Amino acid sequence: MNLEVKQKIFEAIHSSETVIISRHRRPDGDAVGSTMGLARILRLTYPKKRVFLDNEDASDYLAFLGSEGERPTDADYENALVIVLDTGTLDRISNCRVLNGRMLIKIDHHIDDKPFGDLSWVEEERSSACEMVTDFYLSFRDKLKLDAEAATYLYTGMVTDSGRFRYRGSDAGTMRCAAALLEQGVDTETIFAHLYMDDFSILRFHAALTNRIRLTESGVAWLRISRAMRRRRSLSMEEASNVVSLMDSIKGSLIWIALLENDDGSVRVRLRSRFVEVQELATHYHGGGHACASGATVYSREEEAALLAEADALLKRYKETHTGWL
């Protein structure tokens, strides 16, 4: 699929001496895996090219994948090809220099409501950007090189963004890509140990929080983590944000929402759903994302209440017109 744009991307990479790769802020497994995976493929294939990762933030729980290496200087940008992965909009990129290169390419699987780049390859139905990088490798496998290290980065992003192959978008194509990565000798046991094992204190925190989950009238599950709660437990924002998964299997709660108070008082909203689409709701509150996994920000208690009321109305409408799992 999309062979023409992939061919153009391949040619742009092939003819560039310097390639700089970036992703979105507050990175997840897919953002880190796809950028590190593509960088590794390009370094293996083209040892003479200068390949950089350039990002302004990092994620503790993905530190096991290793460092992103030395960042490029301003001079390195002068004739560089810049590739941004897993990022729907320019303002979410974790690198304020992306427009300083010779050419900008977007490779992404988010809903493309704010396109950018001189070349853009977006497939919204893909389960992850890592799947797209793997597909790119498979399209040019006679010219590109992959090894166990690159496959480990890409497999980590595939399993995290697809909810371990459970979410919508995980299809036969996803499995074919996963198989190609596993054939390189990915150590899945070690990846899953890193992804699943938590400190005992986190387990106890989750147990306490389960009692604080609330349901709206129509069944939207939600949980609010205040700054004070985070401080009391010495939790990072990243650790607190994982609570969204505590609500993912409540029958009838086809939408679930974590409200996470930032240090500046604004509230990061993590929206998740089954069957019902929440992406549009997220766009009403300074956000966006995927049909069933989106993010947003609210700036007051009133806006927070309005978002919950809108989610409740959305679920109510869905339940009026559908049966099953309700």
Which residues sit at the interface with ligand AMP, rule CB under 6 A? 24, 28, 88, 92, 110, 270, 287-290, 293-296
Cα separation of 23 and 2, whole Å? 22
Q: Which is nearer to ligand AMP, 37 or 295 (CB)?
A: 295
Give me the least distance between CB of 253 and ligand AMP, in Å please: 17
Which CB, 117 or 295, lies closer to ligand AMP?
Answer: 295
Please identify, using beta-carbon distances, which residue of 45 and 283 lies nearer to ligand AMP.
283
Q: Least Å distance between CB 104 and ligand AMP? A: 19
The residue type at 258: A
Q: How far is the CB of 24 from ligand AMP (least distance, A)?
A: 6
Longest dimension (CA), the chain: 61
> Taking the complex as a whole, how short is the minimal distance between the CB of residue 191 and ligand AMP, in angstroms?
19
- Name every residue whose Cβ is closer than 8 Å to that of residue 106 and which is 6 or more positions away in sequence: 84, 87, 115, 116, 117, 119, 120, 121, 122
Residue 102 or 168: which CB sits closer to ligand AMP? 168
Task: Choose between 39 and 281: whose C-beta lies nearer to ligand AMP.
Answer: 281
Taking the complex as a whole, the smallest distance from the CB of residue 219 to ligand AMP amounts, in Å, to 20
Residue 97 to residues 78, 83, 115, 178, 238, Cα–Cα distance (Å): 11, 12, 18, 33, 25
Half-sphere exposure (Cβ direction) of 194: Cα atoms closer than 13 Å: 18
| Closest to ligand AMP by CB, 113 or 147 | 113
Give the residue carrying structure tokens 């897919």. Answer: 30
Q: How far is the CB of 320 from ligand AMP (least distance, A)?
A: 27
Residue 293: in which H helix or E strand, if any?
A: strand 293-298
**Shorter beta-carbon distance to ligand AMP: residue 219 or 288:** 288
For the purposes of burial, counting CB atoms within 10 Å of the CB of 242, is it exposed (0-12), middle (13-18) or buried (19 or more)?
Answer: middle
To ligand AMP, the closest distance from the beta carbon of 319 in angstroms equals 24
Pairing of strands 221-225, 288-289: unpaired
Three-state DSSP state, 268: strand
Q: Give me the sign of the Cα torsion angle 98, 99, 105, 106.
A: positive
Contact present, 253 and 288 (Cβ < 8 Å): no
Cβ(97)–Cβ(74) below 8 Å: yes
Smallest distance from ligand AMP to CB 233, Å: 20
Nearest to 290 by CA among 124, 160, 93: 124
Closer CB to ligand AMP, 88 or 219, in the complex: 88
